[in-house]
Amino acid sequence: MFIYIVFLAVCVLLIAALWRVFAKAGQPGWAAIIPIYNAYILIKIAGRPGWWLLLYLIPLVNVVIAVMVTIEVAKAFGKGVGFALGMIFLGFIFYPILGFGSAVYRAQPPPVA
């Protein structure tokens, strides 16, 4: 029973942190609780085109795209690749730091095709 309570607490913390990250980036915070839409919003925060969402459907490619999007999200908030690796491997620690910390979103121009 204790494991379930801890799991639920971590889930609530991650939802709240992602909500704050979205709000800092000028996106609707409620998008953090919509499964596919939140990936689309993260892609937009990363400054990548929306069609990248389709790349999440391709096995193994989705892992590479998720890493690339996470690195770009970290950069959009003025953080480096080390912080992005923390977001990938210890997301339950680094997403709250990003959401509740002093990081400020810096909009990136769209990439040149």
For residue range 26-53, what is the model confidence (pLDDT) as tens digits?
999 999 999 999 999 999 999 999 999 9
Q: What is the mean pLDDT of residues 70-98?
A: 95
Phi, psi of 60 (to 5 degrees): 70, -40
Q: Which residue, among 96, 105, 102, has the nearest Cα to 19 in the 3D structure?
A: 96
User: d(Cα 36, Cα 51) in Å, to the nearest integer?
Assistant: 13
Q: What is the mean pLDDT of residues 10-25?
A: 96
Size of the chain, expressed as the number of residues it contains: 113
Question: Quick check: helix, strand or coil at residue 110?
Answer: coil
Phi, psi of 56 (to 5 degrees): -70, -15
User: d(Cα 7, Cα 84) in Å, to the nearest integer?
Assistant: 23
User: CA 100 → CA 2, 13, 45, 96, 111, distances in Å?
Assistant: 26, 11, 17, 6, 28
Q: Residue 74: its pLDDT value, please?
A: 95
What is the value of pTM for the model shown?
0.88
Count of C-beta atoms within a 10 Å radius of residue 44: 20
